[in-house]
Structure 1
Amino acid sequence: MANSPVKEMEVETSRIIGKLQGKESGPTVIFFGGIHGNEPSGVQALEQVFTEVDKLGIDIRGTVYGIRGNIPALKQEKRFLSFDLNRMWTRKGIDGLKNNHQEERRDEEKEMEEIYRFLKEVLDSKPPPYYFIDYHTTSSQTLPFITINDAMINRKFARLFPVPVILGIEEYLEGPLLSYINEKGYVTIGFESGQHFKEESAANSVAFTWLTMMITGIMEPHPEIDKKALCRQLQASAQGNRNFYEVIHRHKITSEDKFEMILGAQSFEHLEKGTRFARHNGEIISAEKDTILFMPLYQDQGEEGFFLIRKIPKWALRFSAFLRHIRFDNFLTWLPGINRVSERSESLMVNLKVARFFSKPFFHLLGYRERVIDRTHMVLYNRERAAKNSMYEKTSWYK
């Protein structure tokens, strides 16, 4: 079933793609599709899965929602109309919802307010544990992959899927929807299923949806839904790659820049030192050292020309998990120039004179990511301390 093509469907005006409510208690799972309007594969996949659940009469535990993101942009097949809806979920943006008059809001601000109200209602009315999955596609050809904010609950959940996992992108992006939700401590997964408008991308999102529903306990395996076939679908599309990677560079661009990738550069492509792979305002960009290209831009809209990533060794992942388990970061505040922003805070304030003696990877091992820099201090935020691990301890996948 995961290999069947997904037909194009006209975008409806309803925010809710579908809702499944089980008779038995269970988790609450929220899938988002189309936060970017030129990425319809997630919406199409969710439409297909919700239809199949009803057709097959599958019993559900708990609650599942499928949510359309940027409806006006989906209708026009544009990433966004006025603002990038996946860069607006900052504290300033949330406060703006409370202060701006409704008639003054532009398309994405109205979309954001609806989604914000939906999230608040779900968290107030539905029981935990909560899972949030956001579907995306890329403008370049790519393997399917997962992006997560770097907390152990996200790592444990993400490694259950046979695709590569990317850590640390939240350090380079301001205001993604999942970062806002992850700050509350819940499991959040971004799934990039492939290239825009490709049937394989929709099929990958279909497979990911079914697997998520099985892993979370929303449904038992069904005779018509072959779990092994779903895994093979994703594994084949990912070419057997299940590595963890870390983002090490973001090439930022603006709408006024002239940026283009040199034809043929793809996500996850290994670049040798000296390889010419992009042009920015007429100047050639070459690889300064051997590296891996990630999410190169092949569309008009976007704030990132490309990222660079590196593979994380397995020993580093294990060492990181150990340090977090023993809460080694408690000792950091014994050092001069490093203090918690407030008592029991997830954030550290680091004097830049001290920070130069510690590399970024050191703080990354402990779960800290750079959030704000001024002339004298750096603020590091720790997803691990915010994570609601106890909410998931009794689940089958967490053990």
Structure 2
Amino acid sequence: MTTQSPNDPDVAVETGSQVPPAEPVTRQPEPDVEPESRWHRAFREIATGNAIISVLAVLLALLVGAIMIAFTDERVQEASVYFFARPGDTFIAIWESVSGAYSAFFQGSIYNFRRPDFATGIRPLTETLTFATPLIAAGLGVALAFRVGMFNIGGRGQMLMASAAAGWVAFSFDLPWGVHMLVALLAGLLAGALWAGIAGLLKARTGAHEVIVTIMLNYVALYLVTWMLRTPGLLQAPGSNNPKTPPMKDTAIFPELLGPQYNLHFGFILAIAAVVLVWWILDRSALGFQFRAVGENPNAARVAGINVKSMYVYAMLISGALIGLAGVSQVLGTVTTGFSSGIDAGIGFDAITVALLGRSTPWGVLAAGILFGAFKAGGFAMQAAEGVPIDIVLVVQSLIVLFIAAPPLVRAIFRLPAPGSGPRRAAPTTTKEVTAK
């Protein structure tokens, strides 16, 4: 027996009752995404990327540097005394001070328009590349450690050990040209790799933090090299009481790339080759995939079957070899007349800044290294031509790191969208059905 509902139309006809029509159901339409043009999409990707933060950080640091240059200039200070009487003099003095300083910076690091010919005018660029050579190599070492989740700040010690090994081979042995240079280069790379490998091995086996270990190894390397420089028969020049090595033999020195009138040497080619090698390791090799996996999440990498401890050791060995290349470039390319314990010239710590500015990518490190090489070459020109204190250049470098470490600040100043923000959605429209009576 089937039971019919009173709302059934057949029942309604039999009983003569009228059933009201069912109310229509209104569905809220999903908000649609406004179509985004190709140019808007490209601009959004650039504005939310990391590269734009590095560029804007440099611009902000240069702006702050301009303010400091103006405040420390004597002409600006003299004109500001009667600012309310003749304000134009102050603004002219500010413009002359800042433009003169940055013009001297350009002519000291890129091209000197005051030189009579192109060959001498381009010399500042070659000086920039010469200063950039060890920065690029050391920055690559720090950047590779960053990608594996490690903080290698032992660049000074690794450079000192690499310099000592390469220098000892360079002035102690008599080998044919080419072979002597290659043996000295390999000795420096091996020394830097082993010195950094100590930190990697301790982290892998005992869990020791690489920051503490590399800091302590810096001091160990410094005092060890200082002792060897004061000990006859090791690194000290024979018949000398100064803590300095003998000059490197000609068969071990890096060849000049552009002739004797320039300081650019073969070390720059090795630095470029190191950039390509690190790029291939990180982006094209299985080892690089494991490096990046450990850097992203070591626990997940361990679950996936990656030997995390071995990756720490391998990463520090390669990182130390790259930083060792910076030390070898100093000994065999720049300071060929002998070196002392200050051969690192602060490059080991500047490499951290280069790696941060380059976002720990090989090509970014290359650009950052050239930029900081320009700071070094142009800073001396600013000091000589305009009397700008060299400390201002160091402040600009520090401000670059500060702004890179605070991306929200840079985005807020330039009103950039936050990362991951997509295109705007259209406002939802409300529809209403009307039933005819």
Greater strand share, 1 or 2?
A: 1
Greater helix share, 1 or 2?
A: 2
Larger Rg: 2
What is the TM-score when the length of structure 1 is the normalising length? Answer: 0.22
Q: Answer 1 or 2: higher relative contact order, Cα 8 Å, separation at least 6.
A: 2
